[in-house]
Amino acid sequence: MKVLVTGGAGFIGSAVVRHIINNTGDEVVNVDKLTYAGNLESLSSVSSSSRYRFEKVDICDREEVERVIQSHQPDVIMHLAAESHVDRSISGPSEFIQTNIVGTYVLLEAARQYWMSLDEARKAAFRFHHISTDEVYGDLEGPEDLFTETTPYQPSSPYSASKASSDHLVRAWARTYGLPVLVTNCSNNYGPYHFPEKLIPLMILNAVEGKPLPVYGKGNQIRDWLYVEDHARALYKVVTEGVVGETYNIGGHNEKQNIEVVNTLCSLLDELLPDSPHRPHAQLITYVQDRPGHDMRYAIDASKIQRELGWTPEETFETGIRKTVEWYLANTEWVAHVKSGSYQNWFEQQYSQRET
């Protein structure tokens, strides 16, 4: 099978690409614009594979998207490319509207034209898998409530509103044109290769350097945490075994308050860095003003994907968070390249001499 992955140089996308190359015989075409969050160094372990190809393309560029699809002739498209940081969407929503909504529309139209041109066997086998977020559902009220696949959408931020819009577009293309789609909504991901603007890598790296650990409000916001490699396994299972037209929620069964996550990270760093001058690292915690429209609690009911496809997360929060901290401590070169911005030169270093 040939899988076209958009956003394959991002955090979740690179995990999907690594999973496919390392655990299947499939080919991967990675389509990524390489914004600040796209990092080809995260794919250095698989980039030399004969089954891997990279295309530096903006999904909003209709002509280029059509060229990539027509030239590579994928069997499935896994659409992960998105602007994804809530704080950035608040300060600059325009890019989120463009990439997440317009980009999804461009990709859907290019995929539809390509799908319609296929012979009957390949047409029947083709899948368009749209990867989304639990943030489209908004805020949970009761302490026992869970997001299900039929929870009404109530997005709170420009980011989640743009993802909700893209979800609606995908379902409309399925209903109107018959495009064979699958939709997944996931909870908060964490793990190796995470760009350090997000909570967990930010806290790890700040703590190592003795910098403040900024926690919004009282830190009592609750999230369901999903180890990124578990998510990659789930996504591949959905695109290969899922029922066309269905939505699958993917969660880690790990609800934690943000302050609990930060304290866990501090305790692990105290253990793993016994000679650190910043121990106990919890003394670095600093409470800052909450962001506008901050949802208090997300939690996913992932029973459908477990019941119908047999997927469950392999990592508990305790095992996954330890692996994550150990990875950041062991991969100082990757971290240094991200913090210096030199990772953005990786494309030129690796591909400037290669034939397009």
The pLDDT confidence band at residue 349, using thresholds 50, 70 and 90, is low
* Short-list 267, 176, 254, 172, CA closest to 213: 267
280 lies in some domain: no
265 lies in some domain: no
Distance CA 152, CA 159 (A): 17
336 lies in some domain: no
Residue 311: give its domain's CATH number: 3.40.50.720
12-25 burial: b if 16+ Cβ within 10 Å, else e: bbbbbbbbbbeeee
**Token couple for 44:** 């250095």
Mean pLDDT rounded to a whole number for the chain: 93
Question: Could you list the active site residues?
Answer: 134-135, 159
pLDDT digits (tens, 9 = 90+) for 295-311: 788 889 999 999 999 99
276 lies in some domain: no
101 lies in some domain: yes
The pLDDT confidence band at residue 244, using thresholds 50, 70 and 90, is very high
How many domains in the chain? 1
210 lies in some domain: no
31 lies in some domain: yes
Q: Is the pLDDT of residue 180 over 80?
A: yes
Domain containing residue 170: 2-193+225-253+293-316+341-351
What pLDDT score does 354 carry?
42
- Reduce the DSSP state of residue 1 to 3 states and report it: coil
Q: Is the pLDDT of residue 133 over 70?
A: yes
When pLDDT is averaged across residues 37-48 and rounded to a whole number, the result is 94
What pLDDT score does 184 carry?
98
What pLDDT score does 346 carry?
53
Pairing of strands 2-6, 27-32: parallel
249 lies in some domain: yes
